[in-house]
Structure 1
Amino acid sequence: MAATSPASYGGGGDGVGRRRVLMFPLPFQGHVTPMLQLADVFRSRAGLAVTVFHAPVNAPAAAAAAAAAGDYRFVTVGADVAEEAAALMPTGGSGSDFAGALMGLDALLRAPFDDALRHVLAEDAATACCMVVDSNLRGVQEVAERRGVRTLALRTGGACCLVAYMAFPELCGKGVLPPASRDQLQLDMQLDELPPLRLRDMMFSATSTHATMATCLERLLDSARCSSGVILNTFEDLENSDLRKITNGLNVPVYAIGPLHKISIGQESSLLTQDQTCLEWLDKQEAESVLYVSFGSLASMDSQELFETAWGLVDSKIPFLWVIRPNSVQGSQQACLPDGFEEATRGRGMVVSWAPQQDVLRHRAVGGFWTHNGWNSTLESICDGVPMICRPQFADQMINTRYVQEVWKIGFELEGKIERRMIDRAVRKLLCSEEGKEMRYRAKDLKNKAITCIEKGGSSNTAIHMLVNLIMSF
């Protein structure tokens, strides 16, 4: 899609007089990143001005740099409730009540957002055409609606995840959810309504009550149904069947415009400082020889799992790049690797606190990705043709894992208690076996389809045109 000059919309480069899109991401890395990538697409591809509202916690790094730009503004919401917002933020891992935290943040931000939106509309009422809101912020969306602002809902997960969320009430009505027991046989039950998912894949959080989950998902679906359109960071060749189910089930326009990270021109969105030296290390490794290990910005492990992971990587003899971010080990600010690990892996392994993941996954040396399977990580791996070892923990990660293993067949789940021999076998399977080579072949086929979809005439390119036309019609 060719870039459109800002002057085409009656304004200059400073954003004065240009149509303006308002945006509000959920303050988590996996939600901030696609929202800012979408903002970049609006600006660079359609010449739209953008105002990003953001919570007082996890403020985007771009906020300070862009604060003075007329066409790209950032507005802090709820500075006076920052401590309360910080207290609501989950600490990571399957023990956190994410559903409760999402609804708590949404409720906390409603009143301060109403005040912030009123001030912004006083300045930009003539040019503000709509608001893109994270679908987890239903309360924020309701405020915008009351102020007369049309809304679009951004889903930062895959289409497969939204289809599962849409089926949640039906499964509850049938008595499938909540499960009558935690019996292994029952949890492994296949869901006829949602192939290839099992009942266990719908257990989004071990600590959120069923009532909390049901309310959270109901509000998420209300956000989609009450919007003027749903935007998904995916592409048709990857999730065509589930995209059709969403269109038929929600009765609102659906825009599959991903992969956003391949369309955006690269606005920095990381909430953590990236260690760029790992790219220099990768330059010295052989093609497709390195296992990249990263469990995202929220998932965590205990100290025993850390030790078993470390020794499993040692025993595999495979080169690796391992991200161990601060607070990723439960009960410890700083991870302590076992004695002898550094000596045993010197020259073939590197540990960093955070990595430029997109650059890592596209690097010629990376041959596999051990991931928690958040949607951003899953999609980035797919789009660079990298097969996966999957270790999901919560939310949509189990759903994404099942699709990686059973639908796209580009990886496999690492199930059960983490143990070094299991890790050794899994790493060798992905990097060294014929089965791993076949997964890599299928992953590269999906990579090619992802490239095609964003080119002229491709499905995502066309969807962006349609989305921009919708916005300009408001």
Structure 2
Amino acid sequence: MEEMTENINQKPHALMFAYPLQGHVIPFVNLAIKLASNGFTITFINTKSIHDQISTARGHSLDQDIFVEARKSGLDIRHTTINDGFPLGFDRSLNHDQFFEGILHVFSAHVDELVGNLVGEDPTINSLIVDTFYVWGSMIAEKYKLVNISFFTEPALVLTLYYHVDLLRKNGHFASTENRKDAITYIPGVKSIMPTDLTSYLQAKDDISTPVHRIIYRGFHDVKKADFIICNTIQELEHETISALHQKQPFYSIGPVFPPGFTKTGISASMWSESDCTEWLNSKAHGSILYVSFGSYAHTSKHEIAEVANGLLLSGVNFIWVLRPDIVSSDETDFLPVGFEDRIKGRGLIVSWCSQIDVISHQAVGGFLTHCGWNSILESIWCGLPLICYPLLTDQFTNRKLVVDDLKIGIDLCDKKSILSRQGICKKINNLMGGEKSEEIREQVKKVKKMLEDAMEQNGSSAINFNMFVEDVKAKIATNKGFTVDENGAGVVDNGWH
């Protein structure tokens, strides 16, 4: 009887597989901390390449993982690595398509082997949390009898567009010889969306069989087999979309998934060495700095970088600009206009990477020119910063719609039909940082920030959803182990005699 009770109340022990991109690893790490703080045992799996980059950025040896401090505080988080199928020296950014072919076809074999070994060594493992873009979640979960949990790190609107890609195809808005240009009004939970606001992959006309497209087709077919979907958003931001998804599957909006206290902790998942901007920030007036970052993944052209640089010069504002060395490409690192860095001395700071949370939470920062990555948007809202939107790739075009059209907490860097120009950039920067529309947008950001804060309160929507998710996972674990849970929460042996 004692053994049965122990099995019924078995602690959730989840394997977590983050997608091997910076913007996915960060919320996965934050989720691991949150789950471990709420009674989970976590075994976190990074690819060897990601682990190597993070360790190098932190100046740590490869045998030290990012959760050392978390374990010291009593959290049960283990860490291991997995081969993604490529040697460490392989340039995954430069050889993007080749890398994702490997993720699509080869990586699952490595996952299967690792999970088999882990489950064989530790029978307490009972759950699997995978990024929604992985194509093998249901196969691995079924094979090893694990609860199948899909974590989507982007907004629910993006999820539902991929989830209903068959409807887009059927109605001629995607994968057609000439994609329709009228408004899309048939996606459940989405009143209307223009084709130009679809993710970049769903705007494609001819090349719809790239590795990423095939990952989308398979991954978002596979997610329909998940036991639970959790999403880094809040109900109040996307109520109708979330309600429609909830009709399909158990869906929990648990965002924003931030680090504890929204501060830089001993747990850093940064893949680049971070510059400390504090001294420079402290020397500037309150709200005077525009933070500029195009994220960790997307690329842009040398011409566009030049226009942004000259727009910043013309604007006269103080700025911090995060410019990855590979922002144009891995083999073109000389992309700034000649003499630019000399001309911005005193009012501009260029860094290759920094702790974004540390910078945008500083009182001197008053706005954010962003590529519209979802992590950046949520962090900006939390800091009360209005946004200038410059989407480059993937979900960023859809995120822009949420920011500018739906939430009204930002402006576009350039109108959809206009060409990016330094004069236009200068005008938009000045409008955001102190123009007549600036105060209106800032007031709206405060309202949306309050929505996020309220959602995370003890009785807020995200807190309630998270607690419900945890309880539902525990119940599912008990069911998988041959038990059911009665209405009083007591375990009952499920021997199939009904």
Please tell me the TM-score bracket, short chain as reference. 0.7 to 0.9
Please name the residue that 1:83 is paired with.
87
TM-fit CA distance, 1:214:
5.6
Which residue of 400, 417, 420 corresponds with 2:419?
417
Which residue of 115, 118, 123 corresponds with 1:117?
115
Please name the residue that 1:137 is paired with.
134
State the one-letter code of the partner of 1:82. Answer: F
Please name the residue that 1:308 is paired with.
307
TM-fit CA distance, 1:217:
2.9
Kept in 1: contact 2:14–2:126 (CA 8 A): yes
Cα RMSD for the two superposed structures: 2.7
Kept in 1: contact 2:149–2:227 (CA 8 A): yes
Please name the residue that 1:444 is paired with.
446
SS of residue in 1 equivalent to 2:14: strand
TM-fit CA distance, 1:142:
1.4
TM-fit CA distance, 1:333:
4.5
Please name the residue that 2:223 is paired with.
224
Please name the residue that 2:484 is paired with.
none
Residues 333 and 207 (structure 1), Cα distance of their counterparts in 2 relative to 1, 3 Å cut: farther
Deviations 1:13-69 (A, max 9, x none): xxxx9542110011000111111110000112x132210122232227378235786
Please name the residue that 1:318 is paired with.
317
Residues 330 and 66 (structure 1), Cα distance of their counterparts in 2 relative to 1, 3 Å cut: closer
Q: State the distance in 1 between where 2:209 and 2:330 align.
A: 29
Please name the residue that 1:272 is paired with.
272
Deviations 1:160-201 (A, max 9, x none): 11122233211211122235448xxx65x3323345532123
Residues 103 and 140 (structure 1), Cα distance of their counterparts in 2 relative to 1, 3 Å cut: farther
Q: State the distance in 1 between where 2:349 and 2:157 align.
A: 34
SS of residue in 2 equivalent to 1:409: coil
Residues 405 and 344 (structure 1), Cα distance of their counterparts in 2 relative to 1, 3 Å cut: same
Q: Which runs of 5+ in 2 are unaligned?
A: 56-62, 478-498
TM-fit CA distance, 1:210:
1.9
State the one-letter code of the partner of 1:243. Answer: I
State the one-letter code of the partner of 1:33. Answer: I
TM-fit CA distance, 1:144:
3.0
Does residue 461 of structure 2 align to residue 469 of structure 1?
no
TM-fit CA distance, 1:102:
4.2
Residues 66 and 195 (structure 1), Cα distance of their counterparts in 2 relative to 1, 3 Å cut: same
Q: State the distance in 1 between where 2:333 and 2:315 align.
A: 25
Please name the residue that 1:73 is paired with.
78
Q: State the distance in 2 between where 1:137 and 1:243 align.
A: 21
SS of residue in 1 equivalent to 2:48: coil
Name which one, 1 or 2, has greater alpha-carbon Rg: 2
TM-fit CA distance, 1:232:
0.4
Deviations 1:443-466 (A, max 9, x none): 111111111111111111111211
Mapping 1:321-340, distance limit 5 Å = 321-330=320-329, 332-340=331-339
Range with bigger deviation, 295-304 or 333-342: 333-342
Residues 402 and 195 (structure 1), Cα distance of their counterparts in 2 relative to 1, 3 Å cut: farther
The structure 1 segments of at least 4 consecutive aligned residues displaced by more than 6 Å after TM superposition are none
Q: State the distance in 1 between where 2:410 and 2:426 align.
A: 16
State the one-letter code of the partner of 1:25. Answer: A
TM-fit CA distance, 1:407:
0.3
Please name the residue that 2:480 is paired with.
none
TM-fit CA distance, 1:103:
5.6
Q: State the distance in 1 between where 2:253 and 2:232 align.
A: 6
What is the TM-score with the length of structure 2 in the denominator?
Answer: 0.82
What is the TM-score with the length of structure 1 in the denominator?
Answer: 0.86
Q: Percent identity?
A: 30
Please name the residue that 1:42 is paired with.
35
State the one-letter code of the partner of 1:139. Answer: W
TM-fit CA distance, 1:393:
1.6
Does residue 176 of structure 2 align to residue 171 of structure 1?
no
Q: State the distance in 2 between where 1:102 and 1:90 align.
A: 10
Mapping 1:176-325, distance limit 5 Å = 176-181=173-178, 187=181, 189-193=182-186, 194-202=190-198, 204-205=200-201, 209-212=207-210, 215-248=214-247, 251-261=248-258, 263=260, 266=265, 267-276=267-276, 278-325=277-324
Kept in 1: contact 2:129–2:148 (CA 8 A): yes
Does residue 143 of structure 2 align to residue 128 of structure 1?
no
State the one-letter code of the partner of 1:297. Answer: S
TM-fit CA distance, 1:367:
1.2
Residues 353 and 20 (structure 1), Cα distance of their counterparts in 2 relative to 1, 3 Å cut: same
Residues 85 and 191 (structure 1), Cα distance of their counterparts in 2 relative to 1, 3 Å cut: farther
Kept in 2: contact 1:138–1:219 (CA 8 A): yes
Residues 207 and 269 (structure 1), Cα distance of their counterparts in 2 relative to 1, 3 Å cut: farther
Q: State the distance in 2 between where 1:259 and 1:203 align.
A: 21
Residues 203 and 454 (structure 1), Cα distance of their counterparts in 2 relative to 1, 3 Å cut: closer
Kept in 2: contact 1:135–1:153 (CA 8 A): yes
Range with bigger deviation, 283-292 or 411-420: 411-420
Kept in 1: contact 2:135–2:215 (CA 8 A): no
State the one-letter code of the partner of 1:34. Answer: P
Residues 455 and 238 (structure 1), Cα distance of their counterparts in 2 relative to 1, 3 Å cut: same
Please name the residue that 1:427 is paired with.
429
